[in-house]
Amino acid sequence: MIDYKDGDSDRLVAHGRFEALRYVGIDVSGWDLRGASFVDCALSDVAAHEVGLTSAEFADTTIDRLNAPILTAPRSRWQEVSIDHSRIGSAELYNADLHAVHISNSKLGYINLRGAELTDVLFTNCTIDELDLGGARVSRLAFVSSSVSTLDTSRAKLAHVDLRGAELRSLAGLDDLRGTTMTGMQVGELTPLFAERFGITVDD
């Protein structure tokens, strides 16, 4: 068990390294934290609107009650991270690296993971407006009791992607679904999309 020390948010700076620290009730909205590294940290009740996290790193870190209407974190790295009871409006995570990440009980708007690499990522009890995996490399992604209004897998490389626990409303990138698992009911509900994409006329 980690023996956290209370962190001083005034010392958070771009390219800084922060280890075994706890931050509670802080507001870093508008801050430039690009290249910052958080290792073995705990962040709780954090306001982070328009925070800049380009190339930042989060490792072995828990995040609870994050409120980020706009989150800018391209090329960031997330390893052994849990995010719980959070609200993220728009997240720019293109070309990011997510490994062993669990997001739970959260509401997510547009999540841009284009060109990202995802391994062992799990969404539990999440509501997602749009999940953009265009051109991403994804291995072992799963959903539990979650909903995704729009899922885009255009040009993605998918392996062991389990969509059975996601309520899907719209799919883009139908040609690139190889490597996914869906239920028969899901496939049935998406039949109009498949028919339109492949020029099939469905006439009962």
Please give the Cα distance from 91 to 113 (Å, whole number): 8
Q: What confidence score (pLDDT) does residue 189 get?
A: 78
64-85: pLDDT as tens digits = 999 999 999 999 999 999 999 9
Question: What predicted TM-score, i.e. pTM, was given to this entire model?
Answer: 0.93
Question: Residue 189: helix, strand or coil by DSSP?
Answer: helix
Please give the Cα distance from 104 to 123 (Å, whole number): 6
Mean pLDDT of the chain: 94
Percent of the chain with pLDDT over 70: 96
Confidence tier at 97 by pLDDT (50, 70, 90) = very high
Please give the Cα distance from 133 to 105 (Å, whole number): 21
Please give the structure tokens belonging to residue 97.
Answer: 């690296």
Q: What confidence score (pLDDT) does residue 196 get?
A: 72
